[in-house]
Structure 1
Amino acid sequence: MRRHLSFACGGAALAATLDEAPGTTGLLIVSGGNEIRSGAHRGMAMLAQRVAAAGHPVFRFDRRGIGDSEGINGGYRSSGPDLMAAIAAFREAAPQLTRVVAFGNCDAASALLLHQPLALDALILANPWTYEDDGGDDTEADEPALPPASAIRARYLARLKDPKSLLRLMKGEVDVRKLFRGLSALGKQPTPPTVGSLADELDGLLAETFCPVTILLATGDRTAQAFMEKLATSIAHVDANPGSIRVERLASPSHSFAGDDGEWLAGRILEQLR
């Protein structure tokens, strides 16, 4: 059963939705960018329904200044009080809860890290935002126009394996100078994030996290590619020494895990709730 409710945060009334279920482990869904709690194409509402059907209560909300909530929209960096109030409201609305796991995509994932420690038992972070601006809105159209170097390298490697591209090269139909500029990026090693940058801040917070973290990456998504490039050393360490942080990848370009990718996303989330 889906129930609508509200809770207070900083003098504003925030709108929320609870998908009720009897389980003692619940999922808090945090929307990214200026997206309302239903998500892109109702993706988060459908995810909540799927998770609740598996027995886990799910709480979604609009932060201040978004959707049906009152207040001023201060962006993901100022959403700490919203997150704390939402967690408290979730526990009050579902008093049987003994564990709360939070899921966020894009800058919602970054917000969950930035505002630690929170009263949460685990984090699921999808395609975390690392660009130096106000964040994304969970749509590929508003991502930076130029892909990160890792995406360029992947593109050229794919072309080198494509017989049609090699045939065009032999026929002289390829700009050789442009090709060599792209190939020159293949041998470059990833560099650590710039000191004081958002990526550097997230890297440090991951190293000091207070609870288990699962990072979900759609490897064809530019936001995920930027995260993988900027935190390449940390991710490599996690892959080699799995512990409280784990990274899972899906070969997909979908930033919001649309269509069939939603099944993969739901499956990974349910694994962390069991």
Structure 2
Amino acid sequence: MLETPLIFTCKEKQLVAIEHSPDKLNQKSTQGVLIVVGGPQTRVGSHRLFVQLARALAEQGYYALRFDYSGAGDSEGAISQFTDIQDDIAAALALFRQQQPQLTEIYLWGLCDAASAILLHLAENKQNTVSGLVLVNPWVRQASTQAKTYLKSYYVKRLLSKSFWGKLIRGNVKPTKALSDIRTFQQQSKTSPVAGSFVDNMYIGLRHFAGNVTVLLSECDLTAEEFKLLMVENTLWRTISKQENIKIHTIAQANHTFSEVKCKDRLITETLNAIKSLK
């Protein structure tokens, strides 16, 4: 496996990328995966998974490119929000094709708000040449769905937890604070989603994408739970999630960043399976 540092430009800013190439060319060398890294992250700890994923892809014969978007990591500029990196993704795709012109299939892979950014990119670039998507725990945070998710997946589980009642008896839990939070979330759960939000634009990107999509969700993650709730409660998302080109899988016992080795290995395996199935 060969790892090559690259510098490319987007809106007069220098961005940094690492390309991971297979040792030998084979029948899979016409396929590549662009890994979009969400939010400012460290390169150690749980977020080491981006490096490990790229290396695993290269070991299996795929090209992989991961990059720091504007203001993140070693790239220039002020830190960008995930809603504003569509041009960075387009520039990274152009770089990937320039580096490996033989690529006939490129897949976009993103975790959390990077998965959201990918759909926002597709909403702005409807005439894209991307072959498929792997979206991991997409970020769809809205006041109403966040509140409902916390009430259902956090507070209910706490009330059923022996450790919670133990902490309550020992005085390590403040009941008034918990009740206040619950009342706040109950009020927020009744609010209507904001029209024209980034979640609506994500839907537009997904609706216009004709390729295959694999959504991977962690079993033990509130972000994933909120995405599941969106697919249940929102008619448009519920309908589109049933399309034949969209597959949704849950990875058991996984947290948001797949910090346990067995969960990270499962994520990598599911990613490889998704790419193979998209071919």
Q: Calculate the TM-score normalised by the size of structure 1.
A: 0.76
Specify the code of the residue in structure 2 equivalent to 1:28.
Answer: L
| Contact 2:112–2:138, Cα closer than 8 Å, also in 1 | yes
Deviations 1:194-230 (A, max 9, x none): 4323333323432332422211111321111122212
**Which string of whole-angstrom CA distances, capped at 9 and with x for unpartnered residues, describes residues 46-104 of structure 1?**
11111110100110111111111122323211111111110111112122211000100
Change (3 A) 1:196 1:159: same
- 2:87 counterpart residue number: 81
1:125 alignment partner, one of 129, 135, 149: 135
- 2:169 paired residue number: none
**Aligned equivalent of 1:263:** 265
For residue 152 of structure 2, what is the aligned residue in structure 1?
153
1:149 partner letter: K
Give the whole-Å Cα distance in 2 for the aligned partners of 1:70 and 1:207: 33
Alignment of 1:47-196 (within 5 A): 47-116=53-122, 117=125, 118-131=128-141, 148-154=147-153, 193-196=193-196
Structure 1 residues 151 and 71: CA distance shift in structure 2, 3 A: closer
Of the structure 1 ranges 152-161 and 219-228, higher mean CA displacement relative to structure 2 is found in 152-161
Partners of 2:45 and 2:10 lie apart in 1 by: 21
Q: In the alignment, what sits opposite 2:218?
A: 218
* Alignment partners' CA distance in 1, 2:47 and 2:271: 19
Query: Does structure 1 conserve the Cα–Cα contact (< 8 Å) formed by 2:83 and 2:198?
Result: no
SS across alignment from 1:247: strand
Residue 3 of structure 2 aligns with which residue?
Answer: 2
Structure-2 change in CA distance of 1:231 and 1:4 (3 Å): same
Tell me the CA shift for residue 12 of structure 1: 1.6
Query: Does the residue aligned with 2:71 lie in a helix, a strand or coil?
Result: coil
Percent of pairs with identical residues? 32
**Cα deviations by residue, 1:137-177 (Å, 9 ceiling, x for unpaired):** xxxxxxx9x96424533457768988999xxxxxxxxx9xx
SS in 2 for 1:55: coil
> Relative to 1, partners in 2 of residues 1:103 and 1:190: Cα closer, same or farther, differing over 3 Å?
farther
Within the candidate set 271, 274, 277, 1:272 is matched to 274
Task: Find the aligned partners of 1:28 and 1:222 in 2 and give their Cα distance.
Answer: 26
- Contact preservation (8 Å) 2:230, 2:237: no
Q: What SS does the corresponding residue of 2:32 show, helix, strand or coil?
A: strand
Give yes or no for contact 2:72–2:80 (8 Å, CA) kept in 1: no
Instruction: Specify whether residues 205 and 95 from structure 1 end up closer, same or farther in structure 2 by C-alpha distance, changes over 3 A only.
Output: closer
* Contact 1:36-1:66 within 8 A present in 2 as well: no
Quote the residue 2:167 is aligned against: none
TM-score, with length taken from structure 2? 0.75
Q: How many residues align?
A: 253
Mapped partners of 1:7, 1:163: distance in 2:
53
Separation in 2, partners of 1:82, 1:37? 20
* Higher helix content, 1 or 2: 2
Alignment partner, residue 253 of structure 2: 252
